[in-house]
């Protein structure tokens, strides 16, 4: 009986989080009440307070069910001394994240909520802090990777490392946010890869554009 009760409680928790996702995306976080979430989930308001302290706690629990883009940066791989190409590791992590956005509807929905549907009011201060912590950690990883790659390539960055890292983060997050507004406007993954490499070229890193090797090989065959 105890096991069944525990399983039922877990099922109720998941229903509440599922309901919150749908309502937050449809109405915005500030316009969604805990009572509405309970009704959507077929539960009581008391059930919400059994599982969550407040709306911010519920929101953070919803966020923890998925790994969002820019939270998937391969930190250890990108910054470990034995990594041959830290920028390649960052690029592959970015491409994996962009692929998640285009293929995983839950990741897309939660990212949309986190970027477009939440207001950082006083009662959502913990949510804002979570966003800032994730952003700062990602920027720090980018800076370490850029500095390491510059040292290995004997390249002098045209701007300070932390500025280059902030720009790279803004580039990737901006692409995702604009794509979410209109997913038909452009192909997220190839656009992300190309703009990433163009940005690196502006910093002085010589990296081939996607498909460049194949095109050169084809040209050599024709000649």
Give the tens place of pLDDT for each residue, 72-93.
554 544 555 667 888 988 898 8
Lowest mean pLDDT among 163-172, 202-211, 213-222: 213-222
Residues 128, 84 contacting (CB under 8 angstroms): no
Per-residue tokens: 37: 């979430």
Q: pLDDT by residue (tens digit) across 32-56?
A: 999 999 999 999 999 999 999 999 9
Q: 217: pLDDT confidence band, cut at 50, 70 and 90?
A: very low
**Structural domains of the chain sorted by starting position, each given as residue range(s) with its CATH number in brackets:** 2-64 (1.10.10.60), 75-108+123-222 (1.10.357.10)
pLDDT digits 0-9 by tens, 129-156: 888 888 898 899 999 999 999 999 999 9
Q: Is the dihedral of CA 78, 80, 86, 88 positive or negative?
A: negative
């Amino acid at each position: 009986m105890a096991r069944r009760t525990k399983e039922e409680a877990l099922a109720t928790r998941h229903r509440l989080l599922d309901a919150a996702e749908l309502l937050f995306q449809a109405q915005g976080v500030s316009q969604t009440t805990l009572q509405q979430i309970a009704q959507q989930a077929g539960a009581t308001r008391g059930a919400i307070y059994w599982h969550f302290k407040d709306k911010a706690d519920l929101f953070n629990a919803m966020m923890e069910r998925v790994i969002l883009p820019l939270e998937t940066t391969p930190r250890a791989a990108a910054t470990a001394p034995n990594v041959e190409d830290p920028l390649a590791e960052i690029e592959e992590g970015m491409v994996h994240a962009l692929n998640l956005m285009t293929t995983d509807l839950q990741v897309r929905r939660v990212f949309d909520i986190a970027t477009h549907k939440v207001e950082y009011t006083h009662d959502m201060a913990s949510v804002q802090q979570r966003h800032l912590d994730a952003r700062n950690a990602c920027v720090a990883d980018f800076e370490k990777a850029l500095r390491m790659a510059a040292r290995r390539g004997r390249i002098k960055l045209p701007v300070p490392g932390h500025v280059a890292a902030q720009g790279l983060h803004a580039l990737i997050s901006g692409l995702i946010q604009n794509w979410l507004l209109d997913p038909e406007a452009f192909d997220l993954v190839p656009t992300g890869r190309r703009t990433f490499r163009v940005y690196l070229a502006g910093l002085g890193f010589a990296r081939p554009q996607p498909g460049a090797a194949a095109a050169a090989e084809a040209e050599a065959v024709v000649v």
